[in-house]
A and B are shown apart, each in its own frame.
Chain A
Amino acid sequence: MLSLALRRLLSTVPTLLIVTLLVFAMVKLLPGDPARLILGQEATPQALAELRESLGLNRPLPTQYFSWLGDLLHFNLGVSLTDHSSVSALILQKLPVTMELAVFAMLISLTIALPAGIFSALRRGSWVDQFLTLFALSGISLPNFFLGILLIYLFSIKLAWIPASGYTSLLENPGRNLLLLVLPAITLGVNAAAVLTRYLRASLSETLTQDYVRTAHAKGISGARVTTKHALRNALIPFLTVFGLQLGGLLGGTVITEQIFSIPGFGRLMVDAVFTRDLPVIQGVVLVSAVAVFVVSFLVDLSYAAVDPRVRYH
């Protein structure tokens, strides 16, 4: 298990290096001049030239890349062009907010997907299964922004139960924190729940037709025990992959959800940075998201090994 973990970690080093190169290239390919956006419509040509010089935008690209990479090795992501605050501090301030939202959304999606997927697989073709299939299809097709606005309309404006937007930290006021995160977490979680339900249903249905399940039944083991002890464990392996992918994709989903619910998280930081061409912030955010996806897939790999003994012996 340890050697598997080490091997996986080592293999990410060259990949991460390629990622830094891609991030840098991508940011440089973005149209628009950061100096122009900082100075706005009133900028004079002299002021623009001065600012470009002081931001180092006139230096050759390889110099810019290697100086950024050198700073990265010291965990220095640079300073924001917009307000001169440290990029690492900004990310550290925003990331926990988004992670809390993502975890909350994942819990919601698992709470829905696990029972719904299992029930659908066990009662294939029943009206409940058909209803759950309909739910899953709508969940997959409903865009985030639409569902979000729908929830605000219903729960904030019509019923006035939940504030329409905002964020309070968990430490400051746990009750209000949860209240404010309910709607965004549902917005994010419903889509993941729908996808996960479909996968669990498919994978569990297939497992339930396997010979060993029939054998288990023949030995007189109770239906519930066969499902949970024998079939579900095997059915969870493909489910885990999808779960990992969903978790990685969640970061993308938060961009829209955070805009709608005005949550000061990682996604909004990213959008604002792109709109203001805040290059150091864009580079920092994209790099951290890439690392986050690596971490998630690494954890998924390890959990495979925990669930499926065959993986450990490879």
Chain B
Amino acid sequence: MRKTLILLSLALLSAAAAETLTVGLDADPPKLDPALSSALVDRQVMNQIFDKLVDLDQNLKIVPDIATSWKVSNGGLTYTFKIRTGVKFHDGTALDAAAVKYSLDRNMTLEGSVRKNELSSVKDVKVIDPTTVQINLKQPYGPLLGVLTDRAGMIVSPKAAEKAGQDFQNNPVGSGPFEFTSRKRQDNITLTANTSYWGGAPKIDKLVYRPFADGDVRYANLLSGAVQVITPFDPKDLSKIESNPKFTALNFPGLGFQGIWFNVTRAPFNNKAFRQAVAATIDRDAVVKVIMNGTATPAAGPFAPGTPAFSTAIKVPKPDLARAKQKLGGKPLTFTLLTAPGALSAQSAQLYQAMFAQAGINAKIEQVEFGTLLDRADKHDFDALMLGWSGRPDPDGNIYDFFVTGGSNNQAGYSNKTVDSLLAKARAQSAMSARVATYNVALATILDDAPYAWVYAPNTLVGLSKNVTGLKPIPDGILRFKDVDLK
């Protein structure tokens, strides 16, 4: 009896000491399945549940995760990975080479998989022995490791995925530091620490994600203590969080970019001079200062500063009204600028409008919600449109699909044979210095053709309570909570 009582009180004590960290996100993650996920916010949650073949460190270096080492051979066509031993999925099954092959195959074949494009260069995946996996490529593809640091490289439990079928997205099972416990749509996603994690148990016991679509509401919840971390916060709240002794603001460069597409398939922007004229009016410093409150870097290309393909050879241009007027050649230019709702988009659109007007260019702003924006972009049913990209660790993910003829992100309808062959060449190169040189040549043409005007590279903004420790800023903007503690 006494023993039971002691045990019971011990259990109660440990329950009371259970540490829960609550994180406010800007949207409810739609799909917690690495194959089906198409939203940035999904990655925040999935990164805790799933281990990946390889991961990124703070300096964007590719580091071991489930693969302890790897070798590239056969002229860049064969990647051989050594798989960590003794790793178990949350359902108790073992993670081995067969599970890695299963996950990669699943990403390439599952109906509705959004990973097919990223893995299109993979010919097949072979299990050599229980701890060795070989990926064979159709042609050399330098970005492969970068792609495997994200959803394409996440390893799912074959048993759980088979059993759950389409419902795996609501019951994800991986081998990561946190285990999926429950989700209530629009309310919370709860994860529990995986105490037998191969890399050591997490320091917190429970991780709860809650969605707050509105930036002010997200900020208010941080202030009131309802959540301890918010990502992202609005740029306008930066100084308020920084000056509050109870909170810390993480403000570090990300991988993405923002800017304006010009539809080259119809008037007025099938005229290159018009595209160049509009691009020349943009004052990037002013946009960063006024709209982003300093939480971004003016940009002229797709590679954010600090990333391997960033090159000082691509200079950020100053606004040049004389050049704009000269390119217009006295002809009138009126067009519609399409944008998605939201305070930042609306303010940027108005600022752009004012900048264009200085060169006598007349822009009307049309606001449609995001789904319509994507739809009209696909159909090339717009003059100009504001759309950015969250960014990928490998430079290919920031340029190839955007400017290659018929690329899935090529909203402009841009097509240039020279650019096509240069982008393909960069893909097949393995040394980063060689790739950067190729990109710079391609960018010179793209910048002159001006199907897109890069404006800035936004920072990742994370607000946290002072008692949250151990959170490292990784440039992909995904917060890893394994080593995070509440003091």
Binding site for B on A (CB under 8 A): 31-34, 36-45, 47-48, 50-51, 54, 82-85, 90, 93-94, 149, 152-153, 156-157, 160, 163-167, 259-260, 262, 264, 268-269, 272, 275-277
The 9 closest A-B pairs by CB, nearest first: A40-B38, A32-B371, A264-B187, A164-B224, A156-B224, A31-B372, A264-B186, A32-B372, A37-B371
Q: Which residues of B contact A272 (CB under 8 A)?
A: 28, 185-186
Starting from the known contacts A165-B226, A276-B30, 15 additional A-B residue pairs (CB-CB under 8 Å) come to A31-B368, A33-B374, A33-B375, A37-B374, A39-B112, A42-B401, A44-B408, A47-B112, A47-B117, A54-B111, A149-B216, A152-B217, A165-B217, A166-B226, A275-B371
Distance to closest chain B CB from A278 (angstroms): 9
Q: A42-B114, A42-B408, A54-B112 are in contact. Are A166 and B210 (CB under 8 A)?
A: yes
Q: Decide: A31 and B169 in contact? CB cutoff 8 A.
A: no
Q: A42-B117, A149-B216 are in contact. Are A36 and B186 (CB under 8 A)?
A: no
CA distance A41 to B389 in the complex (A): 8
Q: Which residues of A contact B401 (CB under 8 A)?
A: 42
CA distance A32 to B169 in the complex (A): 24
Q: Decide: B185 and A163 in contact? CB cutoff 8 A.
A: no
Q: Decide: A32 and B369 in contact? CB cutoff 8 A.
A: yes
Q: A32-B374, A37-B374 are in contact. Are A42 and B38 (CB under 8 A)?
A: yes
Binding site for A on B (CB under 8 A): 28, 30-31, 38-39, 111-114, 116-118, 166-167, 169-170, 184-187, 210-214, 216-217, 220-221, 223-226, 368-372, 374-375, 378, 389, 401, 408-409
Q: Decide: B223 and A31 in contact? CB cutoff 8 A.
A: no
CA distance A277 to B38 in the complex (A): 14
Q: Decide: B187 and A262 in contact? CB cutoff 8 A.
A: yes
Q: Which residues of B contact A84 (CB under 8 A)?
A: 166-167, 169-170
**Nearest chain B residue, comparing its CB with the CB of A274:** B369
CA distance A167 to B185 in the complex (A): 12
Q: Decide: B217 and A262 in contact? CB cutoff 8 A.
A: yes
CA distance A283 to B361 in the complex (A): 43
Distance to closest chain B CB from A16 (angstroms): 27
**Nearest chain B residue, comparing its CB with the CB of A43:** B408
Distance to closest chain B CB from A111 (angstroms): 27
CA distance A47 to B36 in the complex (A): 11
Residue of A45, A50, A54, A152 with most chain B CB atoms under a 10 A cut-off = A152
Q: Decide: B111 and A50 in contact? CB cutoff 8 A.
A: yes
Q: Which residues of B contact A45 (CB under 8 A)?
A: 408
CA distance A280 to B118 in the complex (A): 30
CA distance A2 to B386 in the complex (A): 60
**Nearest chain B residue, comparing its CB with the CB of A153:** B220
Ordered by A's residue number, 12 sampled pairs between the chains whose C-beta atoms are within 8 Å are: A31-B372, A37-B370, A42-B114, A42-B118, A43-B114, A47-B112, A84-B170, A149-B220, A152-B217, A163-B224, A165-B210, A268-B186
Distance to closest chain A CB from B223 (angstroms): 5
Q: Decide: A164 and B221 in contact? CB cutoff 8 A.
A: yes
**Nearest chain B residue, comparing its CB with the CB of A79:** B166
Q: Which residues of A contact B374 (CB under 8 A)?
A: 32-33, 36-37, 40-41
Q: A41-B374, A41-B389 are in contact. Are A260 and B224 (CB under 8 A)?
A: no
Interchain CB contact (< 8 A) of A157 among B223, B372, B378: B223
Q: Decide: A167 and B187 in contact? CB cutoff 8 A.
A: yes
CA distance A275 to B213 in the complex (A): 11
Distance to closest chain B CB from A116 (angstroms): 30
Residue of A37, A259, A262, A268 with most chain B CB atoms under a 10 A cut-off = A262
**Nearest chain B residue, comparing its CB with the CB of A261:** B217
Distance to closest chain B CB from A290 (angstroms): 22
Q: Decide: B213 and A259 in contact? CB cutoff 8 A.
A: yes
Q: Which residues of B contact A42 (CB under 8 A)?
A: 38, 114, 117-118, 401, 408-409
Interchain CB contact (< 8 A) of A39 among B38, B186, B211: B38
Q: Decide: B185 and A83 in contact? CB cutoff 8 A.
A: yes
Distance to closest chain A CB from B406 (angstroms): 8
Q: A32-B374, A33-B371, A275-B371 are in contact. Are A264 and B213 (CB under 8 A)?
A: no
Q: Which residues of A contact B213 (CB under 8 A)?
A: 259
Q: Which residues of A contact B30 (CB under 8 A)?
A: 82-83, 276
CA distance A306 to B114 in the complex (A): 59
Distance to closest chain A CB from B241 (angstroms): 13
Q: Which residues of A contact B111 (CB under 8 A)?
A: 50, 54
**Nearest chain B residue, comparing its CB with the CB of A80:** B185
Distance to closest chain B CB from A180 (angstroms): 10
CA distance A157 to B38 in the complex (A): 35
Q: Decide: B225 and A262 in contact? CB cutoff 8 A.
A: no
Q: Which residues of A contact B113 (CB under 8 A)?
A: 47
Q: Decide: B38 and A43 in contact? CB cutoff 8 A.
A: yes
Q: Which residues of B contact A156 (CB under 8 A)?
A: 220, 223-224, 226
Q: Decide: A262 and B38 in contact? CB cutoff 8 A.
A: no
Q: Decide: B114 and A83 in contact? CB cutoff 8 A.
A: no
Q: A42-B409, A44-B117 are in contact. Are A32 and B211 (CB under 8 A)?
A: no
Residue of A42, A152, A264 with most chain B CB atoms under a 10 A cut-off = A42
Q: Which residues of B contact A41 (CB under 8 A)?
A: 38, 374, 389, 409
Q: Decide: A36 and B371 in contact? CB cutoff 8 A.
A: yes
**Nearest chain A residue, comparing its CB with the CB of B379:** A33
CA distance A32 to B368 in the complex (A): 10
Q: A32-B372, A164-B224 are in contact. Are A260 and B214 (CB under 8 A)?
A: yes
**Nearest chain A residue, comparing its CB with the CB of B222:** A164
Q: A40-B38, A40-B114, A51-B112 are in contact. Are A157 and B170 (CB under 8 A)?
A: no
CA distance A252 to B81 in the complex (A): 55
Q: Which residues of A contact B217 (CB under 8 A)?
A: 149, 152, 164-165, 259-260, 262
**Nearest chain A residue, comparing its CB with the CB of B36:** A38
Distance to closest chain B CB from A4 (angstroms): 40
Interchain CB contact (< 8 A) of A31 among B210, B225, B375: B375
CA distance A51 to B112 in the complex (A): 6
Q: Decide: B220 and A164 in contact? CB cutoff 8 A.
A: yes
Q: A164-B221, A264-B184, A264-B185 are in contact. Are A44 and B116 (CB under 8 A)?
A: yes
Q: A163-B224, A262-B211, A276-B30 are in contact. Are A36 and B117 (CB under 8 A)?
A: no
CA distance A94 to B38 in the complex (A): 25
Distance to closest chain A CB from B450 (angstroms): 21
CA distance A164 to B389 in the complex (A): 32
Distance to closest chain B CB from A254 (angstroms): 13
CA distance A164 to B169 in the complex (A): 29
Q: Which residues of B contact A43 (CB under 8 A)?
A: 38, 114, 408
Residue of B112, B401, B409 with most chain A CB atoms under a 10 A cut-off = B112
Distance to closest chain B CB from A244 (angstroms): 28
Distance to closest chain B CB from A221 (angstroms): 54
CA distance A47 to B211 in the complex (A): 28
Q: Decide: B372 and A152 in contact? CB cutoff 8 A.
A: no
